[in-house]
Structure 1
């Protein structure tokens, strides 16, 4: 098992935020007889089994740590009042991941971060390992909270996706392999700007040793990070040689769930991870070929004749949406929500693939202005109306292969509770549109619904 740096035992904690991770910490704390109090800004129902107290009333002199939800600011743009109090009382503010590290045995870990691609790489790596007969689980920023994963053994492997929010509050991280796929502007308000965001991502390397493997993507700022780390740990770059190797292996090319140049990098990263963990290229290729893809990331959502629906709701920034636009041609592009700092600048290189853009939600006017004179676009009140307009337009040329693509390039919170809810809504709308088209033009080629 991995040795975790000695930390103060946790005997009394406060939980700030009762989402998935907060609930997992609450359950584990009770199982370990750790004293626990909770607070949630949403005024969660004060059930008899949960002790809810405002932070002003917490027993600060007895608390060992505050376990904070990743969605709650602990520094920028403005720290939560509970964080102010924790700092005043010299009480550590830690993540759910840090809580898990300090309360459970740790087997071999793979820790993966990056602005884009980390969920696909995490899920793909876990799939390859399981397909090869390894005991492997995935969790963290994808899937289950780390605290609720099965207890690890000497032979088990945990593939953990880590966000910038989680990394800032996880000082005890140990991992056999650490990965930073890329760093592009995102969440800058939560990190005080670009430098703070880069530092948060780079925190995955803070405790790296020479016995551990670090995998870094290409370009800046990762070139500078690699130079800084070169004498501290083993480093492999996801460079042109790695990508050429992926071409030679040909496993990705045969899997429609992994199309696009961005997935070539994801596959290359997964290959390096799995080689480090003892797998052969034959085992890795079998896993890549059989990977069914990630929900809400270039996910087929139905087809009728030559019109295909693709759910890429997980593309919550321009860089991610650009990767989707690069993967198809003749695109009817549905995008919108709460715009991120990078806007649509990264998408511009692939505007030639777009037939028409259908913008909706809060960012619609901003997006329409950004593409003015470059591609045809129109604005709609909501996603449903945008998709309806896209389908109507695509149906005018039914003999051409076309894609109705939801790749929002924005956060979902103006109209949806999460990118998952947005993607599910798109899949339902796609199913309805397919049924309506089939009713008008019956055809045996119709494949309806969420596939």
Structure 2
């Protein structure tokens, strides 16, 4: 846990007692700050009280007694309107920050790499952390991914914090300057919290604030918003700017075309490695993630050959296009984290012969984002509350079965895919990429993914570890476009 010594003996309010809020409260208490904590949820308050956190009703307190409010990132700061606690704090001129800002003020000697974007943040954060750690660097990985910022370990001046940064967390940072800041991509998301797309983009762009050379901005150039920010920062020439892409060349950048990673940061196109056979990084979106990780690690001083070796040893993240088994020639992929159609579309793009398990509790927008990615779907198996809604969309587009639950869907998909493999068809993949929330049948997407893994492991047939032999994972789509 981080010693937040700059706040020792200062009165600090903490609002929101989820994971990051509890972490902040405990770190501040350990650092001898005068903590007053509250949460709108009674169960959260009870849990905090059991942990010894001092509770004060922040709706009724005198805000002149506090110097700082540490706000949990899930609480509205600006849109759709400021939370009442935010309004009370601002009326008293109390500074409002988040747990990452506390970390930055307490650990000033360490380096910081921050990663944001609409999609791919967790994979890129984990991959950068993996590269740094395996190459022998002192590094801690957390933020929006996994471990709360203040539960990380203290680092020396040789260490690096690799932090996934949500838009909510970026709103609550005031002084942190990232040595390497990564913006992967931008598409409409969380607009209720940021007003509109311009507001959302502005918050994401703030990850580059206060950067000057030799600090580095790594920016995805594959969407119009990212490209505009890239062009703006290149013109301003305040920090080193590296463009990245999983689709096309970016002069002076790092990019993957046809799955081949190219480094053009030193004025000549250097072929780095072929990503297309890496089962943990399938598809162009993951090639962009790899380009971002390569550019970031190289900017942090890791040699190219070491980065290549680390990318090849990256095990992937659970529940995110996670290859879990090959059974009788059929690949099984756990993409339970794909809780919306956009995420499912990215997974569908990656495989040639897909038996798609889909459904759960539907979200706004339905399956529209998958429209152009259904050509390789052999059959869909529908589960959960979304079954009827999704069946109407898929009718006439994809053959489908109303499976009802995950156990039935896995059995049906496995049989159909094995039949294709046995008859000499394209190497098939059974893909759990639900495009829906899990809460109708499971506690969360992790529980859904774990259940899928257990069901696959129980299937009859010859089982192989997907990493046991080199080569392309069954069903993985090869992009034939040449890199140079």
1 CA distance for matches of 2:385 and 2:78?
A: 26
Which residue in the other structure is 1:298 paired with? 321
User: 3-state SS of the aligned residue for 2:261?
Assistant: helix
8 Å CA contact 1:186, 1:342 repeated in 2: no
8 Å CA contact 1:317, 1:408 repeated in 2: yes
The number of residues matched between the two structures is 436
The worse-fitting range, judged by mean Cα deviation, of 77-86 and 96-105 is: 77-86
Q: Which ranges in structure 2 are unaligned for 5 or more consecutive residues?
A: 1-5, 250-254, 263-270, 469-484
1 CA distance for matches of 2:358 and 2:207?
A: 32
2 CA distance for matches of 1:189 and 1:105?
A: 34
1 CA distance for matches of 2:9 and 2:379?
A: 56
Residue in structure 1 matching 2:170, options 167, 172, 175: 167
2 CA distance for matches of 1:53 and 1:303?
A: 54
User: 3-state SS of the aligned residue for 2:42?
Assistant: coil
Which residue in the other structure is 1:237 paired with? 243
2:435 pairs with 1:429? no
Please list the CA deviations of residues 245-269 of structure 1 after superposition, one character each: whole Å capped at 9, or x if unmatched. Answer: 6163225344321222222111111
Which residue in the other structure is 2:126 paired with? 123
Residue in structure 2 matching 1:346, options 361, 365, 369: 369
Deviation at 1:135, TM superposition (A): 1.0
2 CA distance for matches of 1:48 and 1:394?
A: 50
User: 3-state SS of the aligned residue for 1:179?
Assistant: strand
TM-score, normalising length: structure 1: 0.87
Which residue in the other structure is 2:291 paired with? 268
Deviation at 1:448, TM superposition (A): 8.5
Please list the CA deviations of residues 166-215 of structure 1 after superposition, one character each: whole Å capped at 9, or x if unmatched. Answer: 11111222111111010112222232232222222112123322331111
TM-score, normalising length: structure 2: 0.82
Deviation at 1:413, TM superposition (A): 4.4
2:98 pairs with 1:91? no
CA RMSD in angstroms, aligned pairs only: 2.7
Which residue in the other structure is 1:369 paired with? 392
8 Å CA contact 2:178, 2:208 repeated in 1: no
8 Å CA contact 1:116, 1:319 repeated in 2: no
Distance 1:120 1:78, change over 3 A: same
8 Å CA contact 1:301, 1:450 repeated in 2: no
Q: Which ranges in structure 1 are unaligned for 5 or more consecutive residues?
A: 1-6
8 Å CA contact 1:187, 1:340 repeated in 2: no
User: 3-state SS of the aligned residue for 1:28?
Assistant: helix
**Matching of residues 322-361 of structure 1 within 5 Å:** 322-340=345-363, 343-361=366-384
2 CA distance for matches of 1:51 and 1:300?
A: 45
2 CA distance for matches of 1:361 and 1:97?
A: 37
2 CA distance for matches of 1:332 and 1:320?
A: 17
Distance 1:227 1:149, change over 3 A: same
Deviation at 1:80, TM superposition (A): 3.4
